[in-house]
Structure 1
Amino acid sequence: MNNIAFRVSATAAILLALGSVSAAPAAADLAKLGGELTPTGAETAASADGLVPAWTGGLASPPAGFVSGKGYVDPFASDKPLYTITKANAAQYKELLPLGAQALLARGESFKMVVYPSHRTAALPAAIAHKVKEQAAKIELQGFGPVNVAGSTTPFPLPKSGLEVIWNHNLRYLGGGIERTYASFPVRANGDSYAIKVVERRVFSQNMDAPEPNRLLYFVSSIVAPAAMTGGTTLVHEPLDQVKEARSAWVYNAGQRRVRRAPDLAYDSVTDDTEGMRFVDQYDAFNGAPDRFDFKLVGKKAMLVPYNAYKLLDKSVPYASIVKPGSPNPELMRYEVHRVWVVDATLKAGQKHAFSRRTFYVDEDSWSVLWEDAYDARGGLWRVGVHPVVQFYDANVMWYAVNIWHDLSNGGYFIAALGGQEAPPRFNIKGKLADFQPDAMRRSGASQ
């Protein structure tokens, strides 16, 4: 397997060294969007060794057999595995593997990587792609937040810093508004697990009837199972610049029947229903204020990452077939070679976080974080985030099939957002500001 060298621009290195704020990309570079580069800034061409294919528009329409509302058909069901990586042969593929993958493979039989042909499926609606190019010359990163975004879902298609890559992830196109029901499972080292079912609505500012200034999105989620947790609700008003204005959050406790502010719902606060295996800022792979870390843009590299994981959405596959001791069923996972931006985040001096360092691998096509290696205070590899994506081809949205966080210290893992046994997610929903208020939480809780 050929080694694929990192590519880092000299301009990026200079800007990082000087700590400069971002500036608009050159007109000549922006002219490449939609040609030499995809509409969101990825390289259109295949890699020189052919492991990464050319981008030819993505999976922009449903495959044969798809019926709206009946679940997602796997467009690559006929693909055969190219090879399988195990503990025994992991060294052969070392250059293509994140360190977290090497650590998981070293643990033994519960984790392996079944590798398939690569398909670059990411595709956006034409109007969304047009907005990216229209705004790219106008958007700047001032301090910790972008300005002049004006509806762009890729503010920095030609990133010069790690922070710009992270903002592309945070603002990436997710259909404007999402409503979904999903199941999550904390899985202990001995294999014990239980299901937590959640109903969630997330509406971005552009799809709200009366959005407030400096708002990225509005979010509400409610637990509907098991019975002991039913009714617990979280409400979030997410600022665009969270250093300028802190996140506003509230929680409703069904047992106490009261709503309270949750000022600590950020950074490394533990998400209550994960048995401590996911922090708040790991939801959706990464979210929230980026001010506690220095985000260094290491470069771009072709790597084996979880991709096109349609088997995890198959309605004929029960959750019990996915949730297994040690790791989700590796036969249902799918790994492909794709180019990713590598961003290394180091905790700043004087700042507090359970992680001292985090390495993010961000898909060049969708700007989704596909993998995270996270280190403890002593610098040891601790948590591994595995985030397989699929193209929701009926909505032209690339998003996660599931999210998985492995805890290397105890052998447990947390798998979130399994939706194969639920109604398919709804995209492009609209929202009313009145429905994302503490009073609405209280009314909803009282009615249950």
Structure 2
Amino acid sequence: MKTTIMLRAGTVALTLLATHVLASVPPQEAAQLGTTLTPLGGEKAGNADGSIPAWTGGLKADAAPVDSKGFLGDPFADEKPLFIITAANFAQYKDKLSEGQMALFKRYPETYKIPVYKTHRTASSPQEVYEAAKTSALNTKSEHDGNDLSNFISRYYAFPIPKSGVEVVWNHMTRYRGKNLYRELAQAVPQTNGAYTIVEVTDEVAFPQYMSGADGAKSENVLFYYKQEVTAPSRLAGNVLLVHETIDQLKEPRMAWQYNAGQRRVRRAPQVAYDGPGTAADGMRTADNADMFNGSPDRYQWKLVGKKEMYIPYNNYKLYSPSLKYADIIKAGHINQDLTRYELHRVWQVEATLKPGERHVYAKRTFYIDEDTWSAVEVDHYDGRGQLWRVGEGFAINDYKEGIANYAGIALYDLMAGRYIIQGLSNEAKHAITYNMAPKMADFTPAALRNAGVR
């Protein structure tokens, strides 16, 4: 009888090892959300010396005036930097900087700087999102080395109390982005002398849970639907990208289509994934560099290094301001750092190492993800030789009106080429991001692409 029990126990253990199931947290641990932890899983308390304050609910919806175009005002417009980190003094702050930030000081010693301001824990979200995060903590499981999710019924923040590196990254990918949005964005890839051409795009993002005509069964494995149209320059205008972003991409890979305005044809676009080329990026970013990181995590082994205090781009309302022109921001080598704002915050540090036998231009990536919003704010990218190659910075803002963590822009700096790409700017847009749109499923089908791309 003892032998039978041991055999059964061994079978169960082997089954768990084979499927690599990581369980949700028990109720007593989930109860920390909203008590010792913020509702989304950050540490509620401040740090020992008070330089990171306690979280007390984040910004209120009326934190600053919002203009007629929907652009957020700056709640901290009157603040000045506490100090500025430069190439001359960065060594004394290196314990609170990433390898990528320090490399930027060395690459651009005369111009790159980090202005450090007082820390404000501004993150806030609607109550329904907080409840969704707790539902995730109690129910969501990751399987197959964390490459897919099961029982992810809440659709937000898959693992607010993470136990592994891949779970931290899943929180970034499943963070709350608002309800069905439309936005006008710009990107540029400056030459080494600073010359650039603005590429303008419109984005539509829709979520199955907020769409009419969405088939429940077909949308069960869809995280969101995404459509992007290039509107300028004229040589690219009319090209449209459509993505159905799946949750379990092992079971059902991301589905993507492109409409080429010149050919007037819709084609499947399997290259819009992993290290495929980014849209109009002049080879300066990969498909999975968008949003700092996106897509299936299956090509990497993920290590949770832990938490650290770090100077990260935060509350970048000045950089987001519609009073700026793109020419004010885009400079040779890197963006205008005088317009940026960095604060001391706690981040999760995660290392992603390419699995043996897998292919990707980045052999290793190091992620720094804000504890309060789960937004990736710094990502270092290494090539196959182990050399630091590209440095990503996400200039975070918190949309206090909608309760959403967003970016004023995302920069990816190529240390070897001396160039970079800046994405997600909206300063000269006709209107800020519009939420609560009412899209139909028919708007996100390959058949709809041709109509969307007519010049």
TM-score bin, normalised by smaller chain: over 0.9
The residue that corresponds to 1:345 in the other structure is 352
In the TM superposition, what whole-angstrom CA distance separates every residue of 1:259-306 from its partner, at most 9, and x where no partner exists?
A: 111112110011141111110011111110110000111001110110
Alignment partner of 1:32: what SS? coil
1:23 CA displacement: 1.1
- Sort the Cα spacing of 1:430 and 1:296 in 2 relative to 1 into closer, same or farther, 3 A: farther
Distance (Å, rounded) in 1 between the aligned partners of 2:183 and 2:166: 29
Alignment partner of 1:273: what SS? coil
* Preserved contact between residue 240 and residue 452 of structure 2 (Cα < 8 Å): no
* Preserved contact between residue 151 and residue 206 of structure 1 (Cα < 8 Å): no
User: Which residue identity does 2:293 align to in structure 1?
Assistant: F
User: Which residue identity does 2:135 align to in structure 1?
Assistant: E
Aligned residues: 431
- Counterparts in 2 of 1:185-196, with a 5 A limit? 185-196=188-199
User: Which of 398, 404, 407 matches 2:411?
Assistant: 404
* Preserved contact between residue 65 and residue 72 of structure 2 (Cα < 8 Å): no
Distance (Å, rounded) in 2 between the aligned partners of 1:430 and 1:111: 43
* Preserved contact between residue 110 and residue 325 of structure 1 (Cα < 8 Å): no
1:430 CA displacement: 3.3
1:68 CA displacement: 5.1
* Preserved contact between residue 155 and residue 223 of structure 2 (Cα < 8 Å): no
In the TM superposition, what whole-angstrom CA distance separates every residue of 1:385-428 from its partner, at most 9, and x where no partner exists?
A: 00011111111111111010000011101000111211100123
1:432 CA displacement: 1.2
1:80 CA displacement: 1.1
User: Which of 139, 155, 158 matches 2:158?
Assistant: 155
* Structure 2: segments with no counterpart, 5+ residues: 1-16
The residue that corresponds to 1:6 in the other structure is none
1:429 CA displacement: 2.5
User: Which residue identity does 2:333 align to in structure 1?
Assistant: G
Identical columns (%): 45
Check if 1:433 corresponds to 2:441: yes
Alignment partner of 2:234: what SS? coil
* Preserved contact between residue 64 and residue 72 of structure 2 (Cα < 8 Å): no
1:369 CA displacement: 0.5
* Preserved contact between residue 70 and residue 433 of structure 2 (Cα < 8 Å): no
- Range with greater deviation from structure 2 (344-353 or 149-158): 149-158
The residue that corresponds to 1:179 in the other structure is 182
User: Which residue identity does 2:55 align to in structure 1?
Assistant: W
- Range with greater deviation from structure 2 (151-160 or 60-69): 60-69
In the TM superposition, what whole-angstrom CA distance separates every residue of 1:131-176 from its partner, at most 9, and x where no partner exists?
A: 2113321111122111111124111111000111111111100003
The residue that corresponds to 1:120 in the other structure is 121
The residue that corresponds to 2:330 in the other structure is 323
* Preserved contact between residue 176 and residue 206 of structure 1 (Cα < 8 Å): no
In the TM superposition, what whole-angstrom CA distance separates every residue of 1:95-132 from its partner, at most 9, and x where no partner exists?
A: 00000000001121221101101111110101111121
1:328 CA displacement: 0.5
Distance (Å, rounded) in 1 between the aligned partners of 2:47 and 2:102: 24
Check if 1:37 corresponds to 2:37: yes
User: Which of 358, 364, 368 matches 1:357?
Assistant: 364
- Counterparts in 2 of 1:194-343, with a 5 A limit? 194-209=197-212, 210-211=214-215, 212-343=219-350
1:19 CA displacement: 9.7
The residue that corresponds to 1:11 in the other structure is none
User: Which residue identity does 1:199 align to in structure 2?
Assistant: T
Distance (Å, rounded) in 2 between the aligned partners of 1:314 and 1:64: 13
* Preserved contact between residue 186 and residue 413 of structure 1 (Cα < 8 Å): yes
Distance (Å, rounded) in 2 between the aligned partners of 1:137 and 1:315: 42
* Preserved contact between residue 374 and residue 384 of structure 1 (Cα < 8 Å): yes
Which structure is larger by alpha-carbon Rg, 1 or 2? Answer: 2
Alignment partner of 2:276: what SS? coil
1:73 CA displacement: 0.6
* Preserved contact between residue 161 and residue 297 of structure 1 (Cα < 8 Å): yes
1:222 CA displacement: 0.4
User: Which residue identity does 1:125 align to in structure 2?
Assistant: P
- Range with greater deviation from structure 2 (121-130 or 24-33): 24-33
Distance (Å, rounded) in 2 between the aligned partners of 1:317 and 1:445: 30
Report the TM-score when normalising by structure 1.
0.94
The residue that corresponds to 2:10 in the other structure is none
**Displaced runs of 4 or more, over 6 A:** none
User: Which residue identity does 2:100 align to in structure 1?
Assistant: G
Report the TM-score when normalising by structure 2.
0.92
